[in-house]
Amino acid sequence: MATNRTDDSLTDRITPVITDEEKILNAQMYKNAGNECYKTKDYRGAIGKYHRAILQLKGVGQSANLGRLLGVEDSHTLDNTLTPKLHEQLQALKMDCYNNLAACLLQQGEPNYKRISEYCDNVLEISPENVKASYRKGVALYHLGKYDDAEEILKHIYKKGRFNMVPKPTIYFTSEKIHVYTA
């Protein structure tokens, strides 16, 4: 015989709040799943996994606010400070997921270059010298017709000695396109 619950308080019906550590762990699992999709050239699947990872990461630090709103006060919901190690993991995962999203979008038949540029900006906010994000942003800007900006970024990478990321023909082609475009 089933027992009926007579206590209708809100806190009894609330699903336990996921800790920041669990959100970061979930994000890592989604990112890893996205990497597996990418390896098999399932770019659409990878994009979905990376987006799920980012959603988990966006929730980090939000548990305390939610707990206060719902009247739940325990040590897990009120401690919204991240340890340096967790903060480092959070930043690294954000950087990887946004960089990988940009890579996936570049593989699509009709890439969304504006979105690629935005994702690269998210990476460059965390790591301004990230070569992959810089290169992908340069490619995106080129295709958006922002040739001067693209050339500046690609030449910067090349001058830093990162030849393997920026082949000379890309820079030359960009420079030539600028010459034709501005003439």
Distance set, CA 137 to CA 147, 153, 159 (Å): 12, 8, 17
Specify the DSSP element, H or E, that contains 91: helix 84-106
* pLDDT at position 169: 64
Given a contact cutoff of 8 angstroms between Cβ atoms, the answer to whether 115 and 105 are in contact is yes
* pLDDT at position 4: 52
Q: CB under 8 Å, gap of 24 or more: what pairs does 164-168 form?
A: 165/131, 165/132, 165/135, 166/135, 166/138
Give the separation between CA 174 and CA 178, rounded to whole angstroms. 6
* pLDDT at position 79: 43
Rounded to two decimals, the pTM is: 0.79
* pLDDT at position 64: 59
Going by C-alpha positions, the residue among 54, 6, 59 that lies closest to residue 31 is: 54
* pLDDT at position 161: 73
Residues in contact with 124: Cβ distance below 8 Å, sequence separation at least 6, in sequence order: 130, 133, 134, 137
* pLDDT at position 9: 57
Given a contact cutoff of 8 angstroms between Cβ atoms, the answer to whether 34 and 103 are in contact is no
Give the separation between CA 46 and CA 52, rounded to whole angstroms. 10
* pLDDT at position 54: 97
Give the separation between CA 35 and CA 31, rounded to whole angstroms. 6
| Residue that the structure tokens 């992959």 belong to | 132
**Mean pLDDT, consecutive 10-residue segments, the chain of 183 residues?**
53 69 96 98 97 95 63 47 89 97 96 98 96 94 94 86 66 66 46
Domains and CATH numbers, the chain: 15-108 (1.25.40.10), 113-183 (1.25.40.10)
pLDDT digits (tens, 9 = 90+) for 84-115: 999 999 999 999 999 999 999 999 999 999 99
* pLDDT at position 98: 98
* pLDDT at position 14: 59
Positive or negative, the CA dihedral 20, 22, 27, 32 is: positive
